[in-house]
Structure 1
């Protein structure tokens, strides 16, 4: 009987992706531009999920691979069973954050992701200076790349003040219905 607490059960229930359909041909890994950088390449990650063991689930959720995946969809294009690995990665990232088991190497990626979403949430679009400030505050890399700012400002590459969309309430509503709801 399938363990309802394992990641695969929630994954299949929430996303509709059935990892047991994968027969480990390896085409996803062969087409992945970041496979060599990953601690678990896509095919191995799916295999670990197929085992439905708590130990392997913890390995997957604590991996760096789920955070460095680009969601480029090369894996889906190559997969004979059309296993949606980017959808799997999104779900695993959500679970990794929820269970507080983010890989130490991945923390800057998560900090960037959070800063990006915060910028979009409050302005409706990307505000680069707000993104960088949010990222640096989260990672304590305060002086990294600071020497680039004057030339970027002089060239008009950075706006001092953010641009806002016309109806910020719509953006806030989208966040309250999706991301904010998941965090509760």
Structure 2
């Protein structure tokens, strides 16, 4: 990790979420439907951030948990301190991408995310065939789900050509501005 500032400090400054408000009651983890699939449940992620140790910050950013989180908001609904863990998880994913320490288990999630954004950036809408192709190329899972494709085409769920928005330049400008802003924040 390049930045020597503790991750908890950056979380507060970028999201307004203060990890120090968590007093480790564990309700977030108890209510998380995916906690058992995570390497670190939400309460443990919070604890790692609270330690203000660079090695724990690295554990958080390279964890699978930040990518597995669905942002369903069960955690914040159960939290007596109303700590916005979903907002924090979004930021942690951005940081993980920025420093390039993505957990191997999370690579398909990242591939899907990037394929989705590429489709929206190019067409202004979700283009399912483009999304699928981008995901398959990134993950090399060419044969996965191949049997369902014909029925999706027959049912009209997959269109060969993407729909376009009226002003694609505006969409490209939004993406350019966001990328420029993200690059400025990570310098």
- Could you say whether these structures have the same fold, taking a TM-score greater than 0.5 normalized by the shorter chain as the test? yes
Once the two structures are overlaid, the 10-residue window that deviates more, 104-113 or 166-175, is 166-175
What does residue 42 of structure 1 align with? 42
Partner SS for 1:76: helix
What does residue 112 of structure 2 align with? 112
Q: Deviations 1:39-81 (Å, cap 9, x if unpaired)?
A: 1100110010000101111111110000010001111111111
CA–CA distance in 2 between the matches of 1:98 and 1:158? 33
Q: Name the Cα RMSD after superposition.
A: 1.5
Contact 1:4/1:10 (8 A) holds in 2: no
What does residue 20 of structure 1 align with? 20
What does residue 99 of structure 1 align with? 99
CA–CA distance in 1 between the matches of 2:181 and 2:141? 30
TM-score (norm 2): 0.93
Once the two structures are overlaid, the 10-residue window that deviates more, 171-180 or 74-83, is 171-180
Q: Which runs of 5+ in 2 are unaligned?
A: none
CA–CA distance in 1 between the matches of 2:172 and 2:76? 32
TM-score (norm 1): 0.94
Partner SS for 1:146: coil
CA–CA distance in 1 between the matches of 2:66 and 2:180? 21
1:179 Cα shift?
3.7
What does residue 177 of structure 1 align with? 177
What does residue 130 of structure 2 align with? 130
1:180 Cα shift?
5.0
Q: Deviations 1:105-130 (Å, cap 9, x if unpaired)?
A: 10000000000011111111110000
Q: Deviations 1:6-27 (Å, cap 9, x if unpaired)?
A: 1111111111111001111111
Partner SS for 2:102: coil
Contact 1:49/1:56 (8 A) holds in 2: yes
Q: Which runs of 5+ in 1 are unaligned?
A: none
CA–CA distance in 1 between the matches of 2:152 and 2:65? 33
